[in-house]
Amino acid sequence: MASDTYGVGYNSKTIEGRYNQYARDRELFLERGRDCAQFTIPTLIPDEGHTSTSRFNTPYQGIGARGVNNLASKLLLTLLPPNAPFFRFSIDNFALKEIEEDENLKTDIDKGLVEVEKAVMEDIEISSDRVALFECLKHLVVGGNCLLFVSKEGLRVFPLDRYVCKRDPMGNVIEIITKETININILPENIREVIYKNTKPEDIGDKTCDLYTCVKRTKNKFIVIQEVKGIEIPESSGSYPVDKSPYMALRMIRVDGENYGRSYAEEYLGDLKSLEGLTKAIVEGSSASAKTLFLVSPNGTTRARALAQSENGAIIEGNANDVSVLQVQKFADFRVAQDTASSIEQRLSYAFLLNASVIRDSERTTAEEVRLTADELQSSLGGIYGILSQEFQLPFVRRKIAILEKGGRLPKLPKNVVRPKIVTGLEALGRGNDRNRLVQFLQTLAGTLGQETIGQYVNVSEAIVRLATADGIEVKGLIKSPEELQAEVEQQQRQQLEMEQAQAVTSAGENIASNIPPKTVGETLKHMQQS
């Protein structure tokens, strides 16, 4: 009969037992993450057993921390751009064929999808998702792994030392187990009674315990179960559709067949270690060189005490040859170390994109700057940005839409008809690419065939609506409808007709008056005055 234990205390029937079992596979990746954190930001992945009062060693060089923060900032800017949606909705091809037959319907649907996009982006803007995501990205750069939990309250970040996961051969997550230390008083009363049935309430106090949360995939959904001291919490049970799971186990660099990812900093760990050693040597050597010592010959006439106690400008007895200054003659060695350190620092600056920036120092960032940053990341990081876009952006958008739909803040989208699509790499983010292509087409048309071609062959009203839609601008009440345009044309025609009629009457009167003889005119005026 197979055993239910994996080592001492590893009971496979409990979530804690499976957590301890999976933790053995995680240990190597966790150790690599700690090595990288030691030379970048030590607080990200501290040593095992640390507390809030633990002290961390500060690296002698700051290029590692600067590189991590800079790379995480650029990834944040492209994953969640501040001024444009990073996704768009695509319509199923079969449904699209039916829609394209009705041009007005296509425009209306497009405007409706833009409104949904705006609602999702507004929810992201007012939340603290970017703060949590920035922390998550730093963990990815240093440790290569991080777990995000997306709820209606916002994002939660689980570092690598607080969760384990299992993946299938395709890299899809099949099980996640998190470990949290919580206060016992927040547990349901029935659970507290079972755990501490022989303990008085006053003896429990502010004790803590480990809460384990298991997220396990079945055929088409994730099952969630929580456990404390081997006892399941029934109130915590639930399930989520596979494509709307709130748990996202992210990886920086994917390696087939491994449950965890590799970090970006690990690829440059050699340079980080070398720079740390050289910087430490330069700092300590410079400190020793800065120390000044005066040596007095023991056989000379100059007394050390008199020299030390003399004020500036004092006159004492002695011989200048008896006094010498101790200096560290290591300038050439320091120069070699400094040159080597500068060379390594330059390589790390290129690796962490410290020497290239397309973002202006301004409050607002343009869509073009976002596109250039995405281009820079895509070309420099070899597709890492593309991995994050698929493992984070798409599940994140799906989860956000599900939360907003459940809260009644979004209309329920047709299943398998309208789906979110992430635009990454060299393509412009969001609908800005559609706008650019439309503007370029109109400019090419006008430049090649002349300005009059626009009015003759292009539906100007439709072009205006599409440009506004691409920019996310609400056109209702802003752009005149065809009915309003027709009414204005008819009013102008009526006014023109009335002006022509009035002009005709005036002209006819003038003609009649000009044909009356002067005498007759005079008599007519006199008669009119008398009457």
DSSP, residue by residue, 25-39: HHHHHHHHHHHHHHT
Choice among 67-71, 88-92, 99-103 with the minimum mean pLDDT: 99-103
The token pair at 8 is 């001492």
Q: Tens digits of per-residue pLDDT, 483-496? A: 777 888 888 888 88
Rounded Cα distance, 389 and 83, in Å:
18
430, 87 Cβ separation under 8 angstroms: yes
Between 52 and 518, where is the model more confident?
Answer: 52
DSSP string, 235-296: GG-EEEEGGG-SEEEEESB--TT-SS-B-TGGGGHHHHHHHHHHHHHHHHHHHHHH--EEEE
pLDDT of residue 192 exceeding 70: yes
Total residues belonging to the chain: 531
Cβ density class 135-164: b for 16+ within 10 Å, e for less: bbbbbbbbbbbbbbbbeeeebbbbbbbebb
Does residue 208 sit in helix, strand or coil? strand
**Given this model, what pLDDT does residue 405 score?**
86
pLDDT of residue 213 exceeding 90: yes
The number of beta carbons lying within 10 Å of the beta carbon of residue 506 is: 10
pLDDT of residue 12 exceeding 70: no
Angle, helices 269-290 vs 15-38, to 10°: value is 50
Between 82 and 367, where is the model more confident?
Answer: 82
pLDDT of residue 359 exceeding 70: no
- Averaged confidence pLDDT in the chain: 79
Q: Quick one: pLDDT band at residue 199, thresholds 50, 70, 90? A: low
**Given this model, what pLDDT does residue 428 score?**
42
**Given this model, what pLDDT does residue 4 score?**
41
**Given this model, what pLDDT does residue 531 score?**
54
**Given this model, what pLDDT does residue 530 score?**
61
Q: Tens digits of per-residue pLDDT, 95-121? A: 566 555 555 666 667 777 778 888 888
Q: Quick one: pLDDT band at residue 505, thresholds 50, 70, 90? A: confident
Among 454, 456, 478, residue whose Cα is nearest residue 465? 478
Rounded Cα distance, 224 and 236, in Å:
7
Domain ranges of the chain: 482-530
Mean pLDDT over residues 21-27, rounded? 93
114, 89 Cβ separation under 8 angstroms: no
**Given this model, what pLDDT does residue 175 score?**
94
DSSP character for 219?
Answer: S
44, 138 Cβ separation under 8 angstroms: yes
212, 228 Cβ separation under 8 angstroms: yes
pLDDT of residue 33 exceeding 80: yes
Rounded Cα distance, 97 and 111, in Å:
18
Rounded Cα distance, 22 and 19, in Å:
5
The token pair at 212 is 């384990």
Q: Tens digits of per-residue pLDDT, 252-266? A: 988 888 999 999 999
Q: Tens digits of per-residue pLDDT, 428-469? A: 444 455 677 778 888 887 878 777 777 777 777 777 777 776
Calculate what percentage of the chain has a pLDDT beyond 70: 77
Q: Tens digits of per-residue pLDDT, 164-178? A: 999 998 889 999 999
Rounded Cα distance, 70 and 247, in Å:
26
83, 366 Cβ separation under 8 angstroms: yes
Rounded Cα distance, 389 and 378, in Å:
11
**Given this model, what pLDDT does residue 443 score?**
83
267, 278 Cβ separation under 8 angstroms: no
Cβ density class 384-408: b for 16+ within 10 Å, e for less: bbbbbbebbbbbbbbbbbbbbeeee
218, with CB counted inside 10 A (0-12, 13-18, 19+), is: exposed
**Given this model, what pLDDT does residue 270 score?**
93
DSSP character for 86?
Answer: S
Choice among 191-200, 319-328, 521-530 with the minimum mean pLDDT: 521-530
Mean pLDDT over residues 54-61, rounded? 87
The token pair at 210 is 């480990």
pLDDT of residue 210 exceeding 60: yes
183, 203 Cβ separation under 8 angstroms: no
Mean pLDDT over residues 347-375, rounded? 65
